[in-house]
Amino acid sequence: MSGTSLDGADAVLADFRADQPEILGHAHLPYPRSLREQLLELHRISGGEIEKAELIAITLSRLYAQCVAMLLENAAVPKQAIAAIGCHGQTVRHRPESGYSVQLVNSPLLAELTGITVVSNFRNRDIAAGGQGAPLVPAFHAAMLRSPKVHRAVLNLGGIANLTDLPAKGPVTGFDCGPANMLMDAWIESNLGKTYDESGNWASSGKVINDLLESLMQDGYFRQAPPKSTGRDRFNLEWLKSRLRGGEDPADVQATLLQLTARSIAEAIRAHCAGVREIYLCGGGAYNALLRKTLEGLLPGLSFALTDELGIGACHMEAAAFAWLARQAMKGLPGNLPEVTGARGKRILGAIHPA
């Protein structure tokens, strides 16, 4: 899995033979700075995109193959024991309203390099059925993390904030709340050259600019009813800069962006997760101490914990979900939740590329 934060590739080795998955190993390979800059550039429409995308897909696939090799070596598991690799690829366009979503990966090359069957292109089957193609992880949350006694919600704090509502009874729902780390990461990189704000330390040095916060919250996406999904296409540095008056203290802007993330999530939970008691956090933003403290302040009375307490590490959740989606595809079972994506029905997701 490699998400909208563009920080690298994450892999987990997941054993699904028991009722609860066992994570046997994990690996992370950071993107080289040059690759990250190319990916950021590719998010901007320009000439020569097709050739550039295909060449980057080859580079990404070679990196993914290295990540898989590292994972299997660390776990001391031979490749012959692996049924399939579930590879999400790197999203560079997400336009379900136009009927497509683009994740860069050269799946045949990845299968050739690893000698393992690859399942990829998970989103477009759901989009073809009228869905958003995202978020897909709620189906995994529903299968693995739901409690018959307690109303839970799972909040993934990646580049985008994804929310899964898991009531003890009734339908599971989920959607993208809006930006999580994406805008904060972009702002600190443009000002301090850092790729993320560790524990929210820089944001904690600033003060929230209330007028700016209200301006940001006026974006129509936050008022849009689910099912809905979003990404870097909408929430990006240009979007932020168009709402700045000029002269703002950069640390104050960072504090405001953190508040935007927390407030948009809190409003989404209050609006769409009535009765929830437990919030489980995953994704890189789960380790942002200030963000978590701010969320807890906006949602008093709810308990917060990492998904580690449910048996799947906060930094392993999304990669494990795509291992599960690959398993679903290999078994001919659906991988989407129509209540989440808005698709016309359940669909088998992913294209299978045999080794």
Same domain assignment for residues 164 and 283: yes
Going by C-beta distance under 8 Å and a sequence separation of 6 or more, which residues neighbour residue 209? 248, 252, 253, 255, 256
**106 and 157 fall within a common domain:** no
Cα dihedral: 42, 220, 174, 198 (round 10): 60
User: For tokens 């974006």, what's the residue?
Assistant: 219
Given a contact cutoff of 8 angstroms between Cβ atoms, the answer to whether 12 and 21 are in contact is no
The answer to whether residue 77 sits within a structural domain is yes
Task: Report the percentage of the chain scoring pLDDT > 90.
Answer: 94
Nearest-angstrom CA–CA distance, 345 and 198: 41
State the DSSP H helix or E strand holding residue 284, giving kind and residue range, or none if neither: none
Is residue 128 included in any domain, yes or no?
A: yes
Mean pLDDT of the chain: 96
- Of the candidates 320, 351, 333, 319, the residue with the CA atom closest to the CA atom of residue 117: 351
Q: What is the CATH number of the domain that holds 248?
A: 3.30.420.40
Query: Same domain, yes or no, for 58 and 200?
Result: no
Do 218 and 150 share a structural domain?
yes
Domain match, 303 and 174 both: yes
Stronger pLDDT, 47 or 39, i.e. the higher one: 39
Instruction: Give the DSSP letter of residue 211.
Output: H
Q: How many domains does the chain have?
A: 2
Indicate whether 152 belongs to any domain.
yes
Q: Given this model, what pLDDT does residue 299 score?
A: 98
Please tell me whether residues 163 and 78 are part of one structural domain. no
Question: Which whole number is the average pLDDT over 204-228?
Answer: 98
Asked whether residue 233 is domain-assigned, the answer is yes
Q: Is residue 34 part of a domain?
A: yes
- Domain extent, residue 240, equals 146-310
User: Which residues, in sequence order, are bridge partners of residue 26?
Assistant: 12
**216 and 349 in a common domain:** no
- 286 with 339, same domain: the answer is no
Give me the pLDDT at residue 231, please: 94
pLDDT confidence band for 42 (50 / 70 / 90): confident
Output the pTM of the full model. 0.91
Residue whose structure tokens are 């998010």: 43
Residue 79 makes CB contacts below 8 A (sequence gap 6+) with 72, 114, 115, 116
Note whether 339 and 231 are same-domain residues.
no
- What's the pLDDT band for 45 if we cut at 50, 70, 90? low
Q: Are residues 87 and 202 in the same domain?
A: no
- Going by pLDDT thresholds of 50, 70 and 90, the confidence category of residue 48 is confident
| 252-299 pLDDT, tens digit each | 999 999 999 999 999 999 999 999 999 999 999 999 999 999 999 999
- Has residue 139 been placed in a domain? no
Q: Are residues 154 and 291 in the same domain?
A: yes
- Domain check: are 125 and 183 in the same one? no
Within a domain: residue 126? yes
Nearest-angstrom CA–CA distance, 354 and 55 = 22
223 domain-assigned: yes
Q: Is residue 21 over pLDDT 80? A: yes
